[in-house]
Structure 1
Amino acid sequence: MLTVTNLTKKYGKQNAVDDISFHLDGGEVVGLLGPNGAGKSTTMKCIVGLLRKTTGEITIGGFDHLSVEAKRFFSYIPETPYVYDLLTVWEHMQFVAQAYGVKDWKEKASQLIELYELEDKKSKLGRDLSKGMRQKVSICCALLPDPQLLFFDEPMIGLDPKAIKNTKQVFKNLKEAGKTILVSTHLIDSVESIADRIMIMKDGQIIGNDSIENLKQQAAAGGEGLSLEDLFLELTKDE
């Protein structure tokens, strides 16, 4: 579904992403963990085409990641939610439905708006929404086209506890439907219960890429008693 090969992103002489390679299979939920500045958001922005990679190859569904064919496969929820100032919440849904050619979209849009408790905000303009509301609209817009691949960059930031719980359930439903999800976060508990696999980044490199149990065994003899937080701190500590 997603293949990243020797991806590098330089800013001047600094490698924000340093020659990383990985792939995501269909139906897999992968957590991308790392401290601030590790390169998580830069990696994701290079994949979706918001940043120009320095070197490397990225394919989505077998197509180059910048092609229209690839863009039909995925949705992206950025760390800082972007909405259109002069579109209402409902008009955002209509816009996405038209852009992706979604048929009979109104029922699904209504279900998503109800799930994220936005019914009373349907006619509110984007500029009048709080950050948390913008994040909810961003997630609803991403889910509406029913993409095969979803990129979530810090999806829980700004959400209230009920919305976080609902989003975790959405992840599980998407996984059961065979969708592929890459979740970038430093809120470790938000992915521990849903991820099949964890990739840990530090200084622009992937220093761990395996199931949680296997990574725990690598981090400590036997791995007994290690939480995912312990594992993360062990793998990312300074030498």
Structure 2
Amino acid sequence: MGARIEVAGLTKRYGDLTAVDDLTFSVEPGEFFGLLGPNGAGKTTALEMIEGLREPDAGTVSIDGHDPWRRDPALQRRIGVQLQSSAFFERLTAREQLVTFGALYGAPAERVDRLLAEVGLEDKADSPVEKLSGGQAQRLSIACALVHEPEIVFLDEPTSALDPQARRNLWDFLRGLNDSGRTVVLTTHYMEEAEALCDRVAIIDRGRLLELDSPAALVRGLDAPTRITLAPGAIEESRAREVAGVDAVTVHPDRLELSTRRPAEVLAELARLDALDGLSASGATLEDVFLQLTGREYRS
């Protein structure tokens, strides 16, 4: 099978600002694909052009051979879209909201209660949408995107308003969607989320593609040192600096941190010295890759 989504030379300008700049990538059938970038990187603009909500100034988008901007009803029934900011019909309950969205696609009414339970809104089914919290409204927005059981799902920062417990529960739900064969494309600011869910990620900044690969491959390519943390007093700082393989030692009030590119050798020596109190070891993460590529300055 060929790519499910093909993006080639995608460009969008607003006056002198180029929000999306010659973006090219593809998404395979059944893939969980992440689009990452700092604030203002062009993620949402790019996603809206791929969804067919915004017309490109240049370049092409193809979803299973169809141009989404042409509003093909057959294609629209096969995709589900959760926007970063969603508006609901006023004075409807959560259940009525889903029933209404489902009716637009001819979705069976019995799917509604099952979907409410799957996104954790079963006890809010009869609550007006105006009474839902930000996180509950976010989950309802996701449910509305899925009520017609689309083959391809677009999610724009789906967990941005959720607490950690709700976020993890939604991760399980999204994995299930992907495991069932659906293609999922999401934007997120949570690097841990991208590492946990995505088969591949595209990192963009100022509208341009910087890197595209699996999270694991991007982390391996960073060639960052391993950080070994010990409890204060586990070993004297001077002795830690003498351990073969240790590149740097940093003293914090609550821990001693060793940096090394030969972790096995260092851990073996620490064990020999009986200096393993409070030990933890961590390598590079996707967040380290992201910061190296996009910088650390604040973005508005």
Q: 1:117 to 1:216 in 2, by over 3 A?
A: closer
Specify which of 99, 106, 118 is matched with residue 94 of structure 1.
Answer: 99
Corresponding letter in the other structure for 2:89? Y
Q: Unpaired runs of 5+ in structure 1?
A: none
Name 1:159's counterpart in structure 2.
Answer: 162
Q: 1:167-223: per-residue Cα shift (whole Å, max 9, x none)?
A: 111121112111111110111111211111111011101100111222223333799
Residue deviations 1:117-153 (CA, integer Å, cap 9, x gap): 3233222222332222211111111122111111111
SS at match of 1:193: helix
Q: Does residue 1:68 correspond to 2:126, yes or no?
A: no
Looking at structure 2, the residues matched to 142 and 173 of structure 1 have their Cα atoms a distance apart, in angstroms, of 15
TM-score normalised over the length of structure 1: 0.91
Gaps of 5+ in 2: 227-260, 262-282
The one-letter code of the counterpart of 2:190 is L
Q: What is aligned with 1:136?
A: 139
CA distance in 2, matches of 1:30, 1:234: 21
Normalised by the length of structure 2, the TM-score is: 0.74
What is residue 189 of structure 1 aligned with on the other side?
192
CA contact (8 A) 2:7 2:23 kept: yes
Q: Which amino acid aligns with 2:144?
A: C
How far, CA to CA, are the matches of 1:25 and 1:204 in structure 2? 22
State the alpha-carbon separation in 2 of the partners of residues 6 and 95 from structure 1.
Answer: 37
Determine whether 1:234 maps to 2:237.
no
Residue 197 of structure 2 aligns to a residue in which SS? coil
How many residues align structurally?
A: 237
Letter paired with 1:31: G
Render the CA deviation track for 1:54-76: whole Å, top value 9, x for unaligned: 11111112111122222122111
Q: CA deviation at 1:51?
A: 2.1
* 8 Å contact kept, 2:33–2:186: yes
Measure, in 2, the Cα distance between the counterparts of 1:237 and 1:123: 46
Output aligned runs, 1:1-239, within 5 Å: 1-66=4-69, 67-103=72-108, 105-106=109-110, 108-220=111-223, 225-237=283-295
Give me the whole-angstrom Cα distance separating, in 1, the residues matched to 2:217 and 2:122. Answer: 43
How many Å separate the matches in 1 of 2:221 and 2:168?
Answer: 31
Q: Quote the Cα distance in structure 2 between the aligned partners of 1:177 and 1:120.
A: 26
One-letter code aligned to 1:128: K
Q: What SS does the corresponding residue of 1:41 show, helix, strand or coil?
A: helix
1:131–1:222 CA distance, 2 compared to 1 (3 A): closer
Instruction: From the superposition, tell whether residues 50 and 178 of structure 1 become closer, same or farther in structure 2 (CA, over 3 Å).
Output: same
Sequence identity (%): 35
